[in-house]
Structure 1
Amino acid sequence: MQPPPFEIPHPDADAVRQMEKAWSRADLTRYLVRWQNSVLPDLPPAFFDYPTRALDLGCGLGRYILRESARNPDTAYLGIDKGSFRGGSMQERIEKAGRLNLFGLHTNVIPMLPKFPAASLDQITIFYPNPWWPPKHRQKRWSYHPILPLLAKLIKPNGTLVIASNEAFYLGEFRYALAHHPHLGSMMETYAGPIDITEPEAGRTHFEVKFLETGVPCGELRFKKRHHNQN
């Protein structure tokens, strides 16, 4: 199934101004204080036993990591989702699958990310995040968030960051952030356009399956982390 075309717009002047203001005020340590008294799960030690590791943020029911872990038994896949239904169901599906390279955490993504060692991930995927449409909520979007620079720090050189959405404005803002954020110069764009579906079993997430079936256009951005000596 060939996905419809998808144009990713440049964010408007107000969005650019608000993003850059958010970056200048970002204080991740102060932001994370809200979770200092929360009980958070530990990262699964066995995840780090694998030489290649992939993290799916907001993994929903786990469709993507369930499929990819079966295809790539030498890669460890970890999904994190805080949803009361999705996160719990994801963990049940993972336990039922019984794969040693498949892991899931039912918790909030944000306070978990600082637990990962630097340059410990080969891939981070963010599929169909909450768009937080109202302007008063845009500080919760990835492109405005103080956690954003940490994503690049967690990815190994030549590792990839992938984000997909049915909201063109969201991808436009994310694309701008990865190109202009003062602490994200290590990330190089490798693809921007419609979701790249080339396999018979289309749809990496349940949202993507629904969008494909109903003809909703979806877009995708991919970035690679440069080595220090790469231009």
Structure 2
Amino acid sequence: MSIRPFQAQRIHAPRDFQSIPNQPICLEIGAGKGKHACAFAAQHPTQLLYAVERTREKFMAMQKQQQLLAADNLQLVHADAIAWTVHAVQPQQLQQVFILYPNPEPHNAAQRWLNMPFFEFLLSRMAAHATLTLASNISSYIDEAEQQLIDLWKLPYQRETVAQDAARTHFEVKYLARGEVCEQLVIQKPENYRTRFDQQAALQGQKPAGTDHAP
């Protein structure tokens, strides 16, 4: 499958957009009600996680969970993840990315994450050795993503079966309770991996996250 170049310049900033400091961060796309985001923040107090959710009802539920957690290393974002990432995240700023049980888009293969032009931009925002975890209960979704990693993106990865006692998201709990097999791809960006956006950033003199003082 060939993928057209992503045109970041055509993406409008989300409503009420606020920029973020250029420092190392983690990102969860489609954070839902925040079960994984809150657990991650509690377990990794030295890492800053931005949890992005577009649906208002789920975002409000996540806000309630954050208030109970009272963690200052978790930032919630109510926005479309693509638009927010384009405008907020700097080259090589992401240390970890989580896309856990996304919509499988059964009728629109072009909207699956590893089939999207945006995926190349997202890779450019990942630091060297950063990881992206993609989880699903649909084996054909993981099969297709794995093939894209081999044929198109040419990235190293591990394919893993999710443990039966895992409980990162509400979807994961439900699927495992039904006896379904959940799988994940843990993808790593190699040291010398370059996207077209990495090349553009180098030409423009943009520095990786952490090399400047935060504004």
TM score, norm. by length of structure 2: 0.81
**Residue matched to 2:159:** 192
Unaligned runs of 5+ in 1: 1-18
The CA distance in 1 between the partners of 2:16 and 2:133, in whole Å, is 26
Question: Within 5 A, what are the aligned runs for 1:43-62?
Answer: 43-45=19-21, 48=22, 51=24, 53-62=25-34
Runs of at least 4 residues off by over 6 Å: none
Question: Once the two structures are superposed, what CA deviation does each residue of 1:164-195 show, in whole Å capped at 9, x if it has no partner?
Answer: 001111111111222222xx34x311x11311
Cα distance, 1:43 vs structure 2: 4.1
Q: Name the structure 2 match of 1:150.
A: 121
Return the TM-score normalized by structure 1.
0.76
Q: Distance in 2 between matches of 1:168 and 1:40?
A: 38
Higher RCO (CA 8 Å, separation ≥ 6 residues): 1
Distance 1:40 1:188 in 2: 37
Mapped partners of 2:42, 2:78: distance in 1: 21
Contact 2:127 2:189 (C-alpha < 8 Å) held by counterparts: yes
SS in 1 for 2:61: helix
Q: Distance in 1 between matches of 2:95 and 2:26?
A: 6
Q: Secondary structure at the match of 1:75?
A: coil
Is 2:189 the counterpart of 1:213? Answer: no
Give the aligned partner of residue 204 of structure 2. Answer: none
Q: Which residue, 51, 65, 84 being the options, matches 1:112?
A: 84
Number of the residue aligned with 1:91: 63
Q: Secondary structure at the match of 2:187?
A: strand
Change (3 A) 1:73 1:214: same
Structure 2 residue runs of 5 or longer lacking an equivalent are 194-215
Shift of the 38–79 alpha-carbon distance from structure 1 to 2, 3 Å rule, reads closer
Q: Which residue of 1 aligns with 2:103?
A: 130
How many residues align? The count is: 192
- Pick the aligned partner of 1:67 from 1, 15, 39: 39
